[in-house]
Structures are given as C-alpha cells and as structure tokens.
Amino acid sequence: MNERLSDTGRKTVLAPLFDTGWEMVEGRDAIRKTYKFENFVEAFGWMTRAAFYAEKWNHHPEWSNTYNTVEVTLTTHDVDGLSSLDAKLARKMDGL
C-alpha cells in the first residue's frame, strides 16, 4: 500500500527534485513543475511518453498543455498527499 511520505522520505526523495525545478504547491501536499519545449509536437510527444508510465504505474498526473508548455502537478489522491510514486513519476518525467 502506498503511503504518504514521511519527513525523512521527503528529505531524501523530494530535495533532489527541488533542485531540478519542482516546487511545493501552496496550500496542498503536492509538487508542480512547468516544462517548456520547442513546439507543440515536442510537448505532446513528451506527454505521450509520460502517459505510458502513468498508466503502467497506475499513477496519473494533473496536467495541462498550452502549445509548447506543459504544467504538471503531482500528488497521490488515494493518500491525500505526496507519496513515493509522485517522486518516481517526477524523476521519470525529468528523464524523458
């Protein structure tokens, strides 16, 4: 069962993500990041690749796309806050 990240878990898995541009969402236990691409095709291609992992891991982002920009928010609805799955998906998104 996936659980909300502990204080120690937050230090180890969230801190590196903050270094890559992720930030806490104000008023929510969630993280967000804005990705910029060359154009719409690059942005949507990246979303498609990310969507395969989201589906494979049954962990889905809140996101929106405008032309070359994708705004992503990650949180775990089942635990009403951040879990290790959010960190896992964030790391994957950064690597795609």
Which residues contact ligand H2B by CB under 6 A? Answer: 58-60, 76-78
Nearer to ligand H2B among residue 49 and residue 77 (C-beta) = 77
**Where does residue 53 rank: exposed (0-12), middle (13-18), buried (19+ CB within 10 A)?**
middle
Nearer to ligand H2B among residue 1 and residue 38 (C-beta) = 1
Closest of 95, 65, 82, 67 to residue 12, by C-alpha:
82
Q: How far is the CB of 14 from ligand H2B (least distance, A)?
A: 16
3-class state of residue 26 by DSSP: coil
Nearer to ligand H2B among residue 10 and residue 88 (C-beta) = 88
